[in-house]
Amino acid sequence: MRLMPILMIAAGSLLLVGCPKKPTTVPEAPAETTVPQGSDAAGAGNQDQVGKARSLPDASAAGSATSPPAGVATGIYFDFDRSEIRPEYASVIKAHAKHMAAFGAARVRLEGHTDERGSREYNIALGERRSQAVRRALMLEGAADGQLTTVSYGEERAAVEGSDEAAYEKNRRVEIVYGH
């Protein structure tokens, strides 16, 4: 079961790599369908027949603009009072950034959270810094600024209720939410 999404991504990547932008693979392309073959006008008027290029949704890529890449975690977790992204999340960030680059229509909200300790307003600022850290990392890996919004809830929305380290470490997070 765990192999499935990974294979799908791999297949998607292969298709992406092995897919030069040949007009022949795009049946609706105006350049292909509107040039009259062997016409008298061929030569002079030829250029006028080429329309403006538009980007096409990559039907071969796995997933969609409104959902995260399959099999990729949507939570980035942080150390206490820190907002640096731990090295173990590099691949998660990369996968999301790649997905967003593939789906230009994807809109993602980065929700920053903290554990319940300390001051509420400081935690709002800390949650903001965490969501900004994830935003910058995603942009470095290819996501566009316009695709990303951030919001910090501070300690208002715990993922796990409880006042022990087991709960705290699950609450110090940025949630990557698609569809915003």
Residue ranges that bind other proteins, judged by CB under 8 A: 81, 116-122, 124-126, 128-129, 131-132, 135-136, 150-154, 156-158, 161, 163
Q: What is the smallest separation between the CB atom of 63 and other proteins, expressed in angstroms?
A: 25
In this structure, the number of other CB atoms found within 10 A of the CB of residue 90 comes to 12
Specify the residue, 94 or 109, whose C-beta has the smaller distance to other proteins. Answer: 109
What are the residues facing 175 on neighbouring strands? 75, 111
Specify the residue, 94 or 129, whose C-beta has the smaller distance to other proteins. Answer: 129
Positions of E strands within 32-140: 75-77, 108-113
The encoded tokens of residue 74 equal 């949507």
Q: What is the smallest separation between the CB atom of 161 and other proteins, expressed in angstroms?
A: 7
How are beta strands 75-77 and 173-178 bridged, if at all?
A: antiparallel
Specify the residue, 73 or 151, whose C-beta has the smaller distance to other proteins. Answer: 151
CA atoms within 13 A on the CB side of 25: 11
In the DSSP assignment, the letter for residue 173 is E
Q: What is the smallest separation between the CB atom of 52 and other proteins, expressed in angstroms?
A: 32
Q: What is the smallest separation between the CB atom of 144 and other proteins, expressed in angstroms?
A: 15
